[in-house]
A and B are shown apart, each in its own frame.
Chain A
């Protein structure tokens, strides 16, 4: 005898009621969900990055680099001055929104966080670090180019890398040197930048600094985020016939612009980007022909450092790309660890004082020792890197260079 199929006992009405009730119950039971401090022998580091949304790739890289540093530090004995206290990551997703970033600070504060590292976008960093300032919790900016992050007088905010003020100056100087060394073939520049604080602020500074190097900025083109078609911009650049194209934008747009310029057969002496979001091993290895001889000015590891080479090997063995985000996140955690080690406590005042007096060895970065002035590390500097034969070479400054610049690039 065949058993008659049983009619579902869940009606549409009861499903709706159940869903609503479920949401309400979840909302109610969520009271108390931030994780409470489990033990006093851990130092909790809040990681706030955009791991979802249009910046998910760099956000995930930053999270990975931070967790890698935490694992390495714990494997080496944790915070020794605190009896070997281990670092523990509290993971946060800003979803690229300042209000979510600030809410993550509140959530992690309730979970007993001792320091923060984040946030990639300056707007999120500004909101989140101000929220952390209410509790004086140390906040290390791993990536965030706006100088406002460290010029607001907040005593809990520190940045290991440069802001766009110093990076733009370095970028213009390096371009001037490369151009002069080649006999000054380049005279004109077109800047293409994304529309937010990062792109607009950097482009404005480049517009000021490039004429000092004998380079005329013939056009500044702004584009929205996201932009998925660069045909018009490429044709506009073609009509200008500049010697240098200078992209200042996020990863997706960076790669798309490069591809469209190739498709439209726009010829120029060099693509010289500043903090080019898409210039990394992923781009260079996956689009070798397109990337060949493109130049970027960014924070990069010292290719002559044994530790840097070993770290790259480990990251690549883990199936990841060794991007700039990994170095900056790794060093941001090292900076915090060094401060906890010297402060021998998690008390915010003591840790902030230790951060302010940091003289940490940059380990695998082409920096000098850390030297904080109002929260900004004055020992850091950006370098010029170039895609050559499917790899990335450091081309300037010469004391860290792994190859000579190819400039102007051969005709494509």
Chain B
């Protein structure tokens, strides 16, 4: 068992070194850009995974944190001239505050399961309408970020710059998940996921733990919002609070493996790869999406524990074989 752990540790280290070297190995900006989107999806997925995967609080409106963070740093930048490097901390704070707000309202009144999922969806829609209606968000016109590639603007004239930023964020998200799996707090979240009443009977403060979890998820979502606006230079209410991003967040996690460290990363990599390959080989409009959907149905239908679950099953089988 110890050798298995050290082997996994070595694999992680090798993966990180490989990830750091990728822009030097692959002389193709398209792949760097696709990998950046994979890492970005993985980071968003991990923010959902902490609340949905570890704490068992499924949300249909995870995008609300992303949108709030995106607006926070964009408004700080456009209206107050605050650089995105500082703005990203504003976005993290705004995302966490949004998490605290939604969490307090939901958990204080005991919303769980499908009720919690629906209230998060309602909040996302509520904030989309608000963002559409008020002036300081630019309303339906949205917010434009000037194209000005420089490190201080968190804009890069080379896709590798965005790749490294996304990689840094993903590594941080993996470390958070790794810490969760080894901490008392993480164990409390898992206990709440499995049986909240039993966990409380054992002395776990479920309300407090869930509040911490939603704040962490919110903070991560906020950081992702800053990354998005500085890369794509435009933000409007459908981008900020649209349901598509919420679906992507939960999809990469479910496909990869709920409540696992690498689930969102694996899910994001597989889903983006399938999407890109389908788009490349199937030029008839829409056909690539049909194939993508069919493969997705196959994965979700046949792998209830995600791809990581499949990997673990194999690993267990191999370990069992070794013992014999």
Q: A residues engaging B (CB < 8 A)?
A: 12, 15-17, 19-20, 23-24, 26-27, 30-34, 51-52, 56, 59-60, 91, 93, 95, 97-99, 102-103, 106-107, 109-110, 123, 126-127, 130, 133-134, 148, 152-154, 195-197, 199-201, 204, 222, 225
Contacts and interface: CB of A to CB of B under 8 A. Distances in A.
Contacts of A195: 132, 140, 237-238
B28 interface: yes
Interface secondary structure of B, over-half rule: helix
B303 interface: yes
Contacts of A51: 285-286
A405 B185 CA distance: 72
B141 A102 contact: no
B232 A196 contact: no
B270 A12 contact: no
Contacts of A109: 29-30
Contacts of A222: 132, 140
B310 interface: yes
Contact of B140 (A106, A127, A154, A200): A200
Interface in B229-257: 231-234, 236-239, 244
Contacts of B30: 34, 103, 106-107, 109-110
B234 A60 contact: no
A91 B283 contact: yes
B15 interface: no
Contact of A19 (B29, B37, B289, B299): B299
A152 B146 contact: yes
A133 B147 contact: yes
B85 interface: no
Interface in B288-311: 288-289, 295, 298-299, 302-303, 307, 310
Given A19-B302, A52-B289, A99-B37, A26 B277 contact: yes
Contact of A110 (B29, B270, B288): B29
A134 B298 contact: no
Interface of B: 26, 28-34, 37, 132, 139-142, 144, 146-147, 149, 157-159, 228, 231-234, 236-239, 244, 269-270, 273-274, 276-277, 279-280, 283, 285-286, 288-289, 295, 298-299, 302-303, 307, 310
B141 A201 contact: yes
A27 B303 contact: no
Contact of B236 (A33, A97, A123): A123
B141 to A, nearest CB: 5
B283 A154 contact: no
B29 A93 contact: no
Given A52-B286, A153-B147, A195-B140, 16 more contacts: A15-B302, A17-B310, A26-B274, A27-B273, A33-B280, A34-B30, A60-B285, A95-B289, A97-B244, A98-B234, A99-B231, A110-B30, A127-B233, A197-B140, A201-B140, A222-B140
A52 B285 contact: yes
A133 to B, nearest CB: 6
Contacts of A15: 302
A107 B35 CA distance: 12
